Amino acid sequence: MPKAELARNAAGRMVPTEINGREAVPYKGVAAHRPTGTRAAPAIPTVMDYPDCGNKTVENIKAALEAAGIRDGMTISTHHHLRNGDFVANAVFEAAAELGVKDLMWFPSASFPCHASMIDHMKNGVVHHIEGSMNGPLGAFCSSGGMRGMGVLRSHGGRYQAVQDGEVHIDIAVIAAPTADPFGNAHGLDGPAACGLLGFALADSQYADKVIVVTDTLIEFPCVPWQIQGNYVDYVTTMDAIGDASKIVSGTTQITKSPDRLRIAEMTAQFVREAGIMEQGFSFQAGAGGTALSFAIFLMEMMREAGVTARFVRGGSTQYLTRMLEEGLTDYILDGQTFDLDGVRSMRENPTHVNTSPFTSYNYHGKGNFASMLDCVVLGATEVDVNFNANVVTHSDGQLLHGIGGWQNCLFSKCTILPIPSFRDRIPVLVDEVTTLCGPGELIDVIVTERGIAINPRREDLLSAVSGSGLPIRPIEEIKAEVETIVGGPPAKPAFGDRVVAAIKWVDGTVIDSVRQLG
């Protein structure tokens, strides 16, 4: 791969101006890039090319890929609702390898350790590169420079935006479906691989040239609700099992047991209450990590005490969110993915547990989206700098390890709170400058650490709201200095090479930062 031309973007980061042969726009600021042009426009199909009886089944994935006209250089997409239990993406690229196809671009909504076999496909030429979150071994492979093309990391909303805007053209979308009918209607509510919903595959179904649904639970038409609409689907096929249920959703999600994390979670909930956010009819979103879960439990207790109910909470849903719903502490769960079995059950049973998609929740190139309507959101980060800029994809050692998920999209809430330990494994989390910029500081309002709470100086309203609350509000620089005293100074800078191995997109499709090869 030739060395990328770089330009300095509005955040001061050097970013490629061309990505995998396509022009890239450097980040211009949080809300500064105005899109031009029109939405992607797939070819007009005709029912003449589809069976009248509605039966689109073909023998297996290989036959479906052949029928879809797979050939060298195509972009093949998959979704990640089956998380680390997914069998489908691997089966697709095994079939592609058997067919002798080369240089594919894999466009997953995220990838997981279970997809480590893609490393072999990249080594033997079947896969050219991956655009999508690369968790674990694939991130390490990318960081080490093993991928021929440049990795592109997008938020969930950014992925929808990229497909909608025609920035990524999907030739063949393969949609793993826990339940489907022969017409291609599909949902995630039932079947051995039930994952709740299929929102991450929505853009793929709407915009790909060819769409293949793969299921292990083929039922008679109609498969209701059609979270994926068969009218977008070309072929349907089956596998014995599309996933390992035990790795798709947790049996139950676990709260943190670390005393420090529990304290951070409790302070976060206290902050939400004291800042006047926890008011009748409010809304919030928290992830499924141990600290975020504990935050939700603390907040739930405070809501009960105060007699306050939420209008809606956003999932990733867990047993704790479904308990809130069923107890009447929230009118609705607006859910993007179900993280445990109870989330799946609740979505199946409760009409007020609503499945959403990156289109409704996160698409920056829509006529509004849900993310900016949230009263507060509680997120993680690998690093935060003194200007409240945050990193979520690399650690201080420079290794690409995590995807962006909905993280960037969520920053648009009215109050973004990052509850984080001030150091991990004796490496400070608060730094002078983040290794990789994923979220601009102007969108990040509050950092909650075990050593105190730092409020972004831009948010004078929050500073005055919690003054006199007794909460340990401190300048971020002070907390950072304290941590450095304890661990013996700031983290060592990673030994980056020159080559850009991955680009980090902002929610509007511009490039906010890049990741360089390690060593």
Binding site for its own copies (CB under 8 A): 31, 34-54, 56, 164-165, 183-184, 211, 220-222, 224-226, 229-234, 281, 311-312, 332, 334, 351-352, 354, 359-360, 363-370, 372-373, 412, 414, 508
Buried b (16+ CB within 10 A) or exposed e, 329-339: bbebbbbbbbb
Closer to its own copies by Cβ: residue 204 or 383: 204
d(CA 350, CA 347): 6
Q: Please, what sign has the CA dihedral across residues 427, 430, 436, 438?
A: positive
Q: How far is the CB of 360 from its own copies (least distance, A)?
A: 6
Q: How far is the CB of 120 from its own copies (least distance, A)?
A: 33
Beta strands 416-419 and 376-378, pairing class: parallel
φ/ψ (deg, to 5) at 283: -140, 150
Closer to its own copies by Cβ: residue 2 or 53: 53
Closer to its own copies by Cβ: residue 332 or 496: 332
Closer to its own copies by Cβ: residue 225 or 490: 225
Closer to its own copies by Cβ: residue 87 or 183: 183
- CB-neighbour burial class of residue 389 (10 A; exposed 0-12, middle 13-18, buried 19+): buried
Closer to its own copies by Cβ: residue 37 or 100: 37
Q: How far is the CB of 281 from its own copies (least distance, A)?
A: 7
Please check whether residue 235 is in contact with residue 62, taking contact to mean a CB–CB distance below 8 angstroms: no
With tokens 């025609």, the residue in question is 166
Q: How far is the CB of 25 from its own copies (least distance, A)?
A: 13
d(CA 384, CA 479): 12
d(CA 176, CA 88): 6
d(CA 324, CA 330): 6
Q: How far is the CB of 233 from its own copies (least distance, A)?
A: 6
Sheet order of strands, 330-335 included: 353-355, 330-335, 310-314, 282-286, 376-378, 416-419, 446-449, 452-455
Q: How far is the CB of 164 from its own copies (least distance, A)?
A: 7
Q: How far is the CB of 185 from its own copies (least distance, A)?
A: 9
Cα–Cα nearest to 473, from 462, 481, 485: 462
In the beta sheet, which residues pair with residue 238? 215
Q: How far is the CB of 354 from its own copies (least distance, A)?
A: 5
Closer to its own copies by Cβ: residue 372 or 464: 372
Please spell the DSSP secondary structure of 198-245, one letter per residue.
Answer: -GGGHHHHHH-SEEEEEES-B-SSP-SS-SB-GGG-SEEEE-S-SB-H
Closer to its own copies by Cβ: residue 370 or 388: 370
Q: How far is the CB of 37 from its own copies (least distance, A)?
A: 6
**What Rg, from alpha-carbon coordinates, does the chain have?**
23
- CB-neighbour burial class of residue 5 (10 A; exposed 0-12, middle 13-18, buried 19+): exposed
Cα–Cα nearest to 168, from 128, 135, 208: 208
Closer to its own copies by Cβ: residue 148 or 311: 311
Q: How far is the CB of 32 from its own copies (least distance, A)?
A: 9
Closer to its own copies by Cβ: residue 12 or 45: 45
* Strand runs labelled E in 288-329: 310-314
